[in-house]
Structure 1
Amino acid sequence: MLSLLVPVLLSLNVLSSPHEARQSTTLKAAASPRYFGAALGAGHLSNVSDPKFAEFGAAQFSGATPENEMKWDFTEPEQGVFTFDQANQVAAFAKANNQILRGHNLVWFSQLPDWVETLQGNDLLNAMNNHITTVMTQFKGQIFAWDVVNEPMADDGTLGPSPFLTQLGSGYIQTALTTARKADNTTFLYINDFNTEGVNAKSDGLLSIVQSLKALNLIDGIGFESHFIVGELPTDIQTNLQRFADAGVDVAITELDVRMTVPPSAADLEQQTKDYATVINACKAVSRCRGITTWGITDLYSWVPGTFPNMGAALLFDDSYNEKASFTSTINALLS
């Protein structure tokens, strides 16, 4: 399974001279044979007033994740009525630029259309299975990995609240993955979550679930979102990634950004360089870490300011697409 994806990963070139590469290489070249991706919004890709977004998306990144376009409220806003125009746009961009495409996501408690939350029992079960099957069939053969279940965990290591847990019980994760495996057995199946990057109660609970699912051949990987605050990274990221790898699954950094209070201080910007390097080095040290994705390209469109007031400057390129010091530290870590 998935042998067709190997040439894509191996086709990414690394410059022969580390010194030369540090001066001029791209993220995708420096990361090879791992991928280095970004979340790409269809609206940004098609924005003729800002062609740099698509230009940088193609030049710097070997992976793409639709920012919102494959989520339930985008793909099935009315029950049984599917729309894929915006998701297809991101998929086409990835294909045109020889990028691997991560599917994000199928089952999540958030960004659900209202009609989903009114369903009970078998009605929700049938709707979930139909949604998974229809969306995965639409993109079959195009997706490197699917975030089948997104953010299922609570901080204490139990399952967090969601309509799926309430109506279907804890088995909804296994059911979703079983349906996904039947829908497309050529793609990696992932669970994706946040605040699981270090060893803690939440990642302990997730690991226990992974071990059970792996025994049933229902899971291939875990995505660690990695939405960090500058200077507050867990000290045991590598250890945690390795213990999931040791459980027999691939791991990936899926939504990386490192936010800070804005306007940023020189000290915070300097710390950000170290934080990005820490994440890169942790992934590189774990052979089953398949790649890294930042949640966006430029600070200009980052989700952070709209979610965390007075915070931002979280990505590798500033509002004008200038390379930040954290870009340089990321390149150097990838090449070291």
Structure 2
Amino acid sequence: MIQIKQVVATCMAGLLLAGLALLPGTTYGQTIPSLKDTFKNDFGIGTALNNAQFEERDPQMTQFIVRQFNMATPENIMKSALIHPKWDTYNFEPADKLVQFGKKHNILINGHTLIWHSQLPPFMRGMKSADSVRTFFNDHIKTVAGRFDGKVFSWDVVNEALNEDGTMRKTVFLDYLGDDYVTEAFRLAQQAAPNTELYYNDYNNEQPAKRAGCIALIKKIQAAGVRIDGVGIQGHWHVGRVPLKAIEESILQYAALGLKVMFTELDIEVLPRNFQGAEVSQRMTANEQSNPYTAGLPDGVQQQLAADYESLFKLFLKHKDKVTRVTFWGINDGNTWLNNWPIRGRTNYPLLFDRNNKPKSAFYKVVALKN
């Protein structure tokens, strides 16, 4: 028996020294728990996917995704600049591939997003009249939402329409279509996609002022007799400063409106940043202090990250009758957007899996809540 153990150990050591990859879902010969299976009776577990991932260019990554997640949101391909690049031209090919990927692997797809002030088609810069903006607005929602009705599980109908104080954000849609454009977007989506759940999505809408504005917006949609099924709290937070009290209050207040509550773009920043949220237009200047962990994350920060994720998932489980989905904005630390925002080229660690899809301490803290 001792000899057998020695042979096995020698073989494993040889494999590791040779740099041979372990199978997805395993680490040093041990099976990694599945997030989607761990929380299968509680809420869906999602991730953001890029083109290479849903086109299955890396078979091992595909296996990993399918084992860990049962919901997915596209990073970019359904945003209007990509899916509607010219006035009379739509590019559905990447989105169709995403839908096929979801169907093949039993992963529900959340469409992201129909109306957003950022990543607009270039031709919109030349629009100078309410008629042209309204024509784009109507045609875009009807065409895109209609094409994928019954093929995607849900849509982020409107994304980030609010300022931090809860007022309406100044956008081309607000300027030309007025305060009711969000309600109208949901009305059009309801007509075009009767078999699809319809959500409002934003960041920092767990914070009291922005939450109040979000609630007022939702009530306005409901008062107009228009369907809205849920609200997404993006969940871009910072290590050691996750606002658990505000998050819980938001779950309760949004659910009280009869809405599903979901966390749609979850990651926990570990690098220095002088603002919170996810305003994509904001930038910081690189300096000696802005990228401190290029050689690896210090153990103290790793443990704080794990504690933050553990506290978050305890809260999600406490309200699992209200929380329907938890989606991470990325699969692993290597493909998080936070490596390049708000400063390009940083080495960030905001997710549950490291750059080799190996689970971190935070992962084990989270799955241990169900064991």
TM > 0.5 fold call: yes
Aligned match of 1:230? 239
Deviations 1:76-120 (A, max 9, x none): 000120111111121111111111110100000001112123222
Deviations 1:135-173 (A, max 9, x none): 112111112110000011100110112110111111110
CA distance in 2, matches of 1:128, 1:331: 43
Matched, 1:53 2:89: no
Aligned match of 1:273? 306
Cα offset for 1:183?
0.3
Matched, 1:316 2:349: no
Aligned match of 1:299? 333
Aligned match of 1:132? 141
Matched, 1:144 2:153: yes
Secondary structure of 1:25's counterpart equals: coil
- Is the 8 Å Cα contact of residues 283 and 291 (structure 1) preserved in structure 2? no
Match of 2:269 among 259, 273, 296: 259
Matched, 1:183 2:217: no
Cα offset for 1:47?
6.1
Deviations 1:167-196 (A, max 9, x none): 111111011010000001111111100011
Match of 1:244 among 254, 267, 285: 254
Cα offset for 1:46?
3.2
**Structure 2 unaligned residues grouped into runs of 5+:** 1-30, 272-291
Match of 2:183 among 174, 181, 186: 174
CA distance in 1, matches of 2:220, 2:314: 29
Amino acid of the structure 1 residue aligned with 2:144: V
Amino acid of the structure 2 residue aligned with 1:307: W
- Is the 8 Å Cα contact of residues 316 and 323 (structure 2) preserved in structure 1? yes
TM-score by length of 2: 0.80
CA distance in 1, matches of 2:102, 2:56: 17
Matched, 1:100 2:133: no
CA distance in 1, matches of 2:235, 2:55: 27
Match of 1:80 among 78, 88, 106: 88
CA distance in 2, matches of 1:115, 1:218: 30
Aligned match of 2:316? 283
Aligned match of 1:14? none
- Is the 8 Å Cα contact of residues 159 and 202 (structure 2) preserved in structure 1? yes
Secondary structure of 1:78's counterpart equals: coil
Deviations 1:258-302 (A, max 9, x none): 121251221111111122122222222221211100011011111
- Is the 8 Å Cα contact of residues 53 and 297 (structure 1) preserved in structure 2? no
Q: Percent identity?
A: 32
**Structure 1 unaligned residues grouped into runs of 5+:** 1-22
- Is the 8 Å Cα contact of residues 229 and 260 (structure 1) preserved in structure 2? yes
TM-score by length of 1: 0.89
Which structure's CA Rg is the greater one? 2
